[in-house]
């Protein structure tokens, strides 16, 4: 290793060391005076100080003044995480005329004071870390940030209410928006609901105007039945490939008249209708629901006779006539788009209650999920808004079981947040539609939100029964003549202190919310993180709730965690604002932590090329060497670690710097 020969002469390294008390956050656990004294004893440290709040204006001024007075050319600040204040202190160095990258931060708050109790040991650990930083900073090199232009277009992935709201907000601000939805229509879960809590306004009435606005907005390119398959690039300059699945109907020619549906050789639908959760049947050519946007039919190749046998009479084509909108030869197509920011609003899926055998779902036909009941109640649903059981009867008594797949150690531990409120809504609607007696089985009623508790009070007044306790079992085992032919809900009533058996005609399972089945694939595709439960991880739970750890990629709605409509819309607006703030800045500064190939030393072994997650490395045939495109490099360091001959160098993370730091930590004090 090269000895640091910067001890004397004009190039001599002169380090200023500053330790922050952070009030008592650090000062309470680390002996900051002793730490400053220790740092003063280290080689090359010219000034060493402690100060109550280094990040304050006087704290920063202290650094600037010392740089001038003591001719400092390196600065080490021992305080909090660099995530919080590295930029602050770098700016201070810049103001004093020093390259900002001559700074090294030591995180003695998150890494020391917050995680230790023993003051002596904590101070010793802080000393080790400070020694490492003082040694490392001597090797720092001046670096320059890069500035790149930002493409002002935005991609929104997922066309539920969050995606719709984000897309409209951005489009109304004059930005080009691409909205990609994998289903044949936008609308998401909200389109399936009849009413929304707590105001009971009709979901379609408030949603469909926004859906049509998306469909006709000049600034929105709506791609339904499409999926993002590839994401390249970086903040401000993403390149995304979108796959369009063939709907076998030419978008531009289909006018949504639906004559083909009527003309289909199937007189009746034979395929379970996905939008109605299988409660009705559809034909191979179909429109998901009457208000679908776009109003373009889809042909399902798995059930269409023409695709199965090639011998269909093709009455649909006859019906379509001169419009010529049906094309059985359609292939999937791809579009490449360039955008500056991405908003993910990919939503959730509902808990599959088969995983809870006690619930009786799948075993007793009169056990429904809450989402199925939404469709039953919906006027455009399979029963035209009548709550009718599978046997055609109207239920006289209904039990709604809360927390199915929520707050349950055996399935999902989290509270799905929306179920209490939608259970109350369904209780009200069922009662309204059928006059049935309704029982709610709940663990706790969770109704925080504007007008939510009032809605709960209203339900209590409407005569809905509430039983506090977890349901043990749903069965058809009658022990009393009154239970014959009914479903019996056995539940502990923790308020009354005994176990109840309540016979009902219909059971509604208030299923919880879960991350989408392919959330992990989507997260990898967009290079963001998931929390352990599988929800997309926000950059900071309080202060950056719609940002991710990947710059320029935002999340909104239930893909980040269970959320009701108001919260999803609020987040979508927030994400749109974040995206606007980014793209309206016109350009973005990139950290200069890029990697570069040492061209003389590279052996051309190609090991690095496939390692790069950003496709920034290419093999140059003429030179038989690898080459890193600095604009594409995000400084992840993967190639640097992977280069078997050490011929890739990364700014700010050069081997010498890292080894010096390690040796500093391990050196005996």
Partner 1 sequence: MSDRSPDKPKVAFYWCASCGGCEEAVVDLAEAILDVVAKVDIVFWPVAMDFKRKDVESMADGSITATFLNGAIRTSEQESMAQLLRSKSQLLVALGACSHLGGIPGLANLFDRASLMQEVYVQPPSTINAEGTLPQTHYQDNGYSVELPVFQETVRPLDQVVDVDYYIPGCPPTPKTFLAAVQILLGSELPVKGTVLAPDCALCDECPRKDTKPEKPVFNEFKRPQQMLVDEQKCLLAQGLLCMGPGTRSGCEALCVRGNMPCSGCYGPTSRVRDQGAKILSCLASLVESKDETEIDRVLSTIPDPVGTFYRYGLPGSLLQRKRPDGVRQAPLPSR
Nearest approach in angstroms of CB 135 to partner 1 is 14
Residues 529 and 515: their CA atoms lie apart, in Å, by 13
Nearer to partner 1, 453 or 656 (CB): 656
| CA nearest neighbour of 186 among 162, 211, 221 | 211
Only one of the segments 315-323, 405-413, 550-558, 596-604 lies at the binding site for partner 1 (rule: CB under 8 A); that segment is 596-604
Only one of the segments 197-205, 377-385, 441-449, 600-608 lies at the binding site for partner 1 (rule: CB under 8 A); that segment is 600-608
| Structure-token pair, residue 367 | 């056990």
| Structure-token pair, residue 338 | 């360039």
CA distance readout (Å), 382 to 277, 295, 378, 396, 535: 10, 20, 8, 20, 32
Q: Is the dihedral of CA 123, 125, 128, 132 positive or negative?
A: negative
Residues 283 and 295: their CA atoms lie apart, in Å, by 16
Please list every residue from 467 through 526 that binds partner 1, using CB under 8 A.
none
Nearest approach in angstroms of CB 529 to partner 1 is 17
| Structure-token pair, residue 632 | 């594409």
Does position 5 interact with partner 1 (CB under 8 A)? The reply is: no
Please list every residue from 135 through 164 that binds partner 1, using CB under 8 A.
none
Using CB under 8 A, pick the residue from 70, 413, 606, 623 that binds partner 1.
606
Nearest approach in angstroms of CB 590 to partner 1 is 25
Say which residues have a Cβ less than 8 Å from residue 389's Cβ, sequence separation at least 6.
365, 366, 395, 505, 506
Using CB under 8 A, pick the residue from 55, 388, 443, 611 that binds partner 1.
611
| Structure-token pair, residue 182 | 């994998």
Instruction: Provide the edge-to-edge strand list for the sheet that holds 237-244.
Output: 226-234, 237-244, 333-339
Only one of the segments 15-23, 202-210, 309-317, 604-612 lies at the binding site for partner 1 (rule: CB under 8 A); that segment is 604-612
Please list every residue from 104 through 133 that binds partner 1, using CB under 8 A.
none
Residues 86 and 591: their CA atoms lie apart, in Å, by 12
Alpha helices in 175-300 (DSSP H): 203-216, 259-263
Residues 318 and 341: their CA atoms lie apart, in Å, by 44
Strand partners, 334: 243
Nearer to partner 1, 540 or 624 (CB): 624
Using CB under 8 A, pick the residue from 144, 529, 610, 629 that binds partner 1.
610
Does position 624 interact with partner 1 (CB under 8 A)? The reply is: yes
Under DSSP, is residue 440 helix (H, G, I), strand (E, B) or coil?
Answer: strand
Residues 155 and 526: their CA atoms lie apart, in Å, by 12
Does position 601 interact with partner 1 (CB under 8 A)? The reply is: yes
Nearest approach in angstroms of CB 619 to partner 1 is 6
Contact 504, 486 (CB under 8 A): yes
Q: Quickly count: other Cβ atoms within 10 Å of residue 624's Cβ.
A: 11
Nearest approach in angstroms of CB 6 to partner 1 is 18
Does position 609 interact with partner 1 (CB under 8 A)? The reply is: yes
Using CB under 8 A, pick the residue from 143, 607, 627, 652 that binds partner 1.
607
Nearest approach in angstroms of CB 645 to partner 1 is 4
Residues 79 and 35: their CA atoms lie apart, in Å, by 12
Nearer to partner 1, 265 or 611 (CB): 611
Residues 299 and 320: their CA atoms lie apart, in Å, by 13
For 67-158, strand residue ranges (E) read 74-79, 103-107, 146-149, 154-157
Binding map of partner 1 across residues 630-669, x = CB under 8 A, - = no contact: --------x--xxxxxxx-------x---x----------
Nearer to partner 1, 318 or 601 (CB): 601
Only one of the segments 179-187, 205-213, 353-361, 609-617 lies at the binding site for partner 1 (rule: CB under 8 A); that segment is 609-617
Nearer to partner 1, 47 or 643 (CB): 643
Nearer to partner 1, 199 or 610 (CB): 610
Using CB under 8 A, pick the residue from 41, 600, 622, 669 that binds partner 1.
600
Nearest approach in angstroms of CB 144 to partner 1 is 24
Residues 390 and 387: their CA atoms lie apart, in Å, by 10
Nearer to partner 1, 494 or 603 (CB): 603
Residues 632 and 628: their CA atoms lie apart, in Å, by 8
How many residues at the interface with partner 1, by CB under 8 A?
A: 24
* Residue located via tokens 């950290």: 591
Nearest approach in angstroms of CB 646 to partner 1 is 3
Does position 15 interact with partner 1 (CB under 8 A)? The reply is: no
Nearer to partner 1, 83 or 598 (CB): 598
Nearer to partner 1, 393 or 623 (CB): 623
Nearer to partner 1, 199 or 645 (CB): 645
Nearer to partner 1, 3 or 302 (CB): 3
Nearest approach in angstroms of CB 609 to partner 1 is 5
Using CB under 8 A, pick the residue from 396, 460, 598, 620 that binds partner 1.
598
For 479-590, strand residue ranges (E) read 487-493, 498-504, 506-511, 513-515, 553-555, 587-590
Nearest approach in angstroms of CB 636 to partner 1 is 13
Contact 554, 342 (CB under 8 A): yes
Q: Is 390 left (phi over 0), alpha (psi -120 to 50) or beta?
A: alpha
Residues 300 and 261: their CA atoms lie apart, in Å, by 12
Nearest approach in angstroms of CB 655 to partner 1 is 7
Say which residues have a Cβ less than 8 Å from residue 29's Cβ, sequence separation at least 6.
112, 113, 114, 116, 117, 119, 122
Does position 603 interact with partner 1 (CB under 8 A)? The reply is: yes
Q: Quickly count: other Cβ atoms within 10 Å of residue 514's Cβ.
A: 23
Nearest approach in angstroms of CB 5 to partner 1 is 13
Binding map of partner 1 across residues 556-595, x = CB under 8 A, - = no contact: ----------------------------------------
Nearest approach in angstroms of CB 538 to partner 1 is 26
* Chain contacts with partner 1 (rule: CB under 8 A): 598, 600-607, 609-611, 619, 624, 638, 641-647, 655, 659
């Amino acid at each position: 290793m090269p000895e640091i020969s910067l001890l004397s002469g004009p190039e001599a390294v002169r380090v200023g060391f500053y330790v922050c008390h952070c009030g008592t956050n650090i000062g309470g656990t680390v002996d900051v005076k002793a730490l400053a004294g220790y740092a003063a004893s280290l080689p090359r440290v010219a000034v060493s100080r402690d100060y109550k709040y280094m990040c304050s204006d006087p704290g920063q001024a202290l650094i600037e003044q010392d740089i001038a007075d003591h001719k400092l050319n390196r600065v080490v600040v021992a305080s909090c995480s660099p995530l919080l204040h590295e930029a602050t202190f770098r700016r201070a160095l810049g103001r004093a005329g020093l390259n900002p990258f001559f700074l090294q931060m030591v995180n003695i708050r998150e890494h020391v004071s917050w995680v230790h109790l023993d003051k002596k040991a904590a101070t010793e650990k802080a000393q080790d870390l400070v020694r490492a930083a003082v040694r490392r900073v001597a090797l720092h090199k001046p670096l320059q940030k890069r500035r790149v232009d930002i493409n002002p277009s935005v991609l929104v992935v997922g066309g539920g209410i969050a995606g719709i709201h984000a897309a409209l907000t951005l489009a109304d601000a004059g930005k080009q928006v691409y909205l990609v939805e994998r289903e044949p229509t936008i609308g998401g879960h909200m389109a399936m609901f009849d009413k929304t809590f707590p105001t009971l306004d009709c979901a379609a009435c408030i949603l469909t105007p926004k859906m049509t606005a998306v469909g006709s907005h000049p600034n929105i390119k709506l791609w339904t039945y499409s999926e993002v398959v590839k994401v390249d690039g970086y903040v401000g300059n993403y390149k995304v490939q979108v796959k369009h699945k063939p709907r076998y109907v030419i978008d531009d020619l289909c006018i949504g008249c639906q004559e083909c549906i009527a003309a289909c050789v199937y007189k009746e639908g034979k395929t379970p209708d996905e939008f109605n959760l299988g409660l009705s049947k559809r034909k191979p050519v179909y429109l998901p629901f009457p208000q679908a946007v776009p109003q373009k039919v889809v042909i399902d190749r798995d059930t269409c006779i023409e695709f199965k046998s090639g011998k269909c009479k093709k009455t649909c084509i006859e019906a379509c006539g001169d419009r010529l909108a049906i094309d059985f030869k359609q292939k999937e197509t791809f579009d490449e788009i360039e955008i500056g920011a991405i908003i993910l609003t990919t939503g959730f899926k509902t808990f599959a209650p088969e995983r809870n055998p006690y619930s009786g779902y799948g075993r007793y036909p009169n056990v429904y999920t809450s989402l199925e009941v939404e469709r039953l109640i919906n006027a455009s649903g399979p029963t035209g808004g009548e709550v009718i059981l599978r046997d055609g009867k109207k239920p006289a008594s209904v039990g709604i079981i809360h927390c199915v797949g929520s707050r349950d150690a055996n399935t999902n531990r989290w509270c799905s947040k929306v179920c209490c409120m939608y259970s109350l809504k369904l209780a009200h609607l069922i009662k309204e539609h059928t006059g049935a007696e309704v029982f709610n089985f709940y663990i706790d009623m969770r109704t925080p939100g504007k007008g939510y508790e009032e809605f709960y009070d209203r339900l209590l007044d409407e005569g809905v029964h509430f039983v506090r306790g977890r349901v043990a079992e749903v069965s058809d085992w009658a022990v009393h003549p009154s239970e014959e032919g009914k479903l019996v809900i056995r539940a502990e009533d923790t308020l009354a202190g005994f176990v109840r058996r309540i016979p009902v005609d219909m059971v509604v399972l208030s299923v919880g919310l879960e991350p989408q089945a392919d959330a992990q694939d989507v997260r990898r595709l967009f290079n963001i993180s998931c929390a352990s439960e599988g929800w997309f991880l926000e950059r900071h739970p309080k202060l950056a709730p719609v940002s991710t750890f990947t710059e320029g990629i935002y999340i909104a709605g239930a893909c980040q965690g269970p959320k009701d409509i108001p919260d999803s819309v609020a987040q979508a607006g927030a994400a749109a604002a974040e995206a606007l703030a980014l793209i309206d800045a016109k350009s973005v500064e990139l950290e200069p932590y890029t990697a570069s190939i040492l061209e003389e030393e590279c052996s051309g072994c190609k090991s690095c090329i496939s390692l790069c997650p950003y496709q920034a490395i290419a093999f140059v045939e003429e030179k038989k060497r690898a080459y890193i495109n600095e604009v594409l490099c995000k400084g992840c360091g993967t190639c640097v670690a992977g280069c078997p001959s050490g011929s890739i160098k990364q700014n700010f993370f050069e081997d010498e710097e890292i080894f010096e730091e390690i040796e500093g930590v391990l050196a005996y004090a």
